[in-house]
Every structure is written in C-alpha cells, then in structure tokens.
Amino acid sequence: MRYINVKDLTPGMIIANNLYDNNELVLLKANTELTQFYIDRIIGLDYDGIYIFDQGDVEKAKSIVSDETRIKVIGKLKKLDIDACMFLANSIVNEIQNSDSLIIERVTLSSYDNYTYVHSVNVDILSVIIGIGLGLRNEELNKLSQAALLHDIGKCDVPVEIINKPARLTPEEYEEVKKHPQYGLERLRAKEKGGDDIAAVIKNAVYSHHENWDGSGYPRGLIGEKIHLFARIIHVADVYDALTTKRAYKNALNPADTLEYLMANTGIMFDKDIVSTFLQYVAPYPIGCTVLLSDGQQGVISENNRINLPRPKVKLSNGTIIDLTEKLDVTIISILM
C-alpha cells in the first residue's frame, strides 16, 4: 500500500480505501481500478492524495474510527445538531478504546469542501487519544470528545466567504475568524437556554482552544495551567491536523515536520506534557508514504515500530524490507510522499 499525490495517479492503479464526495456518498470503493474519468473526479474534489495498492498488497489503510461513524458525525455537524454530535462523540470514545492500536499511522483523506467537518472529527480523535495517554477517566474522555468535536462550531457564525476564502485572510478577516471561540460559546449557552445542560468544562474548552501556553493566544491571553486541560489538549490536536491538511492557500506539512513544529513551540504555544504524550501516538512516517533514506535509496513505509515510531520498516523498490530499528546506520532524511 502506498500514499500517492493525485498528480501522480495513472489509470490502472487500484485504490485502497473508500473515497467520499462532498455529500458523504461513496465516490469510489476500495479495490476500484482507476480510469482517467475517476482520476479527474478525484482531482475535482481537491483530494491531495490517496492510498493505492502495490502489487501483492491485500490490506487497506486502517482507521481507528470507522468510516461509517465519521460520515454520521460529519452529517450532524453540517446540520449543527449539537445533541447528536455530543452523543456521537461518546461513540468515538468507545471505538477508540476498542481499537487494536491507538497509533495514528495514516494520512487523512479529505476533500477541500469538507475540510471544516473532517477537521473537527480528526481533532476529536486526536484529542481522545491524548486524553487516554494522559490517563483520563472515561467520563472525562467523553466530555473531552464532545468539546473537541464542537471546538469550531462557532465558525458557522463567521461569514462563509471568509471561511472558504481560497487565499490568505486580510488582517480584518483574521480578526473576524478569531471571534469563533466566542461565537461557539454563545451557541452552547443558547442551547442551555433551551433547557439542555452542557458541562462547564466543554464550554471552557470550546472558548479557550486558541489560548497559548505563554499567554500570547486568544481570546483572553491565559497563561499556562490557567488554560483548562481540555483546551490545551485540543490546541495541540487542532494545530497538528490543520498543518497536515492541504488548503487552497497552503500546502500540507508532512507529519514529521509538523511534529517538529509542535516540539519547537512547546512552552510557547503548547503544554510540554501534552506534546510529549502526543508524540507517543503519532507516527512521524505514516504507512504508505515514500521516504528518502540516508544511503540514497527510496522506499515506502511498510510498518511502524510502535515502541520506537521514528524507526519504521521501509520497503525498497526491489521488495527488500529494511527494519530501521536494526539497521542503525541508515536514517530517514525526508518524506517524499
């Protein structure tokens, strides 16, 4: 299995995962052979890349949360159905807890138009994994999941032409976007006025997920542990997913470089303990991505060492597999994707 940029797709390749259109309908099922028509459809939806099978592959790229649950959640987010989102957030916790592995080792596949919704689901999953790593109890994980899933709900009150602008925002537009935590808090408070009770920690996290550890964030400029733990967790997950996702005005950073960014901003933007926990669960080199080795060879990540994520197994073009936990004189120089 290999992750490949859409510009490098050719007819005859076999896709390894279901692909969805912007209405959450299956565009192409796994094991479909690509034609030029299909490739044009994929490009039209602004997918950055997809997984394909290499000769001899039999398994698709696994996901910690099922496609079915993701699709349900995205549909409820689009409808701003807060009750359903909070219920499904608990289902996400259950699926993660029952997963064979908590290691994030695949690239998220998403189309441009669905970015906001897919992003919210990704941030939820990443946040729950961090919460598990920190030893949070089940009740806390459910509330963290709900807060993470709803963290950007305030963006529905930001003008759509700003949210979907295919270029960098002006300073004035950015100031409007910065109001989305307040808008999100107001939506949750309005929900309470209708008779629903929403935990204070959920409202706090939605309101505070852009606060920075050193006090340079917004909307209140909180410092350190004055920022609620849930907000600090969501902040790390939010930035990671945003940086690793292609947008109209920027290319995606690869996972390894994004993890370096998180580490470089520990103590500035992020809580050190949360970043350290996150590093235990996110593979810097996702399965299927193409890498350049220090000996000049190129290969595809075939398996991650879950005890030592920076040292995976790499499959070379001739079929040879190098285990970097054993071949210590070879390192990964860069991700070529």
Q: What does the pLDDT read at residue 32?
A: 92
CA gap 29, 53 in Å, rounded: 13
Q: For the segment 172-201, what is each residue's pLDDT rounded down to a tens digit?
A: 999 999 999 999 999 999 998 877 789 999
CA gap 26, 114 in Å, rounded: 14
Quick one: average pLDDT of 279-289?
Answer: 94
Average confidence score pLDDT of the chain? 91
CA gap 38, 121 in Å, rounded: 26
Q: For the segment 81-96, what is each residue's pLDDT rounded down to a tens digit?
A: 999 999 999 999 999 9
Residue 48: helix, strand or coil by DSSP? coil
End-to-end CA distance of the chain: 12
Asked if pLDDT for residue 112 goes beyond 70, the answer is: no
Q: What does the pLDDT read at residue 107?
A: 81
Asked if pLDDT for residue 60 goes beyond 60, the answer is: no
Q: Which fold has domain 67-279?
A: Hypothetical protein af1432 (1.10.3210)
CA gap 142, 186 in Å, rounded: 21
Q: Per-residue confidence at 237, pLDDT binned at 50, 70, 90?
A: very high
Residue that is written with structure tokens 């941030």 in the block: 123
Q: With a threshold of 0.85, does the pTM exceed it? A: yes
DSSP assigned state of 266? B
Contact 124, 89 (CB under 8 A): yes
The CA distances from residue 80 to 22, 154, 156, 184, in Å, are 17, 10, 9, 11
Which of the four CATH numbers 3.40.1390.10, 3.90.70.10, 3.90.105.10, 3.20.20.140 does domain 2-53 have? Answer: 3.90.105.10
Kindly state the percentage of the chain with pLDDT values over 70: 96
Structure tokens, 47: 């997918």
Quickly list DSSP for 55-91. Answer: TT---PPP-SS-HHHHHHHHHHHHTT-HHHHHHHHHH
Asked if pLDDT for residue 56 goes beyond 70, the answer is: no
CA gap 62, 185 in Å, rounded: 35
Quick one: average pLDDT of 287-298?
Answer: 94
Q: What does the pLDDT read at residue 218?
A: 97
Asked if pLDDT for residue 59 goes beyond 80, the answer is: no
Q: What does the pLDDT read at residue 145?
A: 98
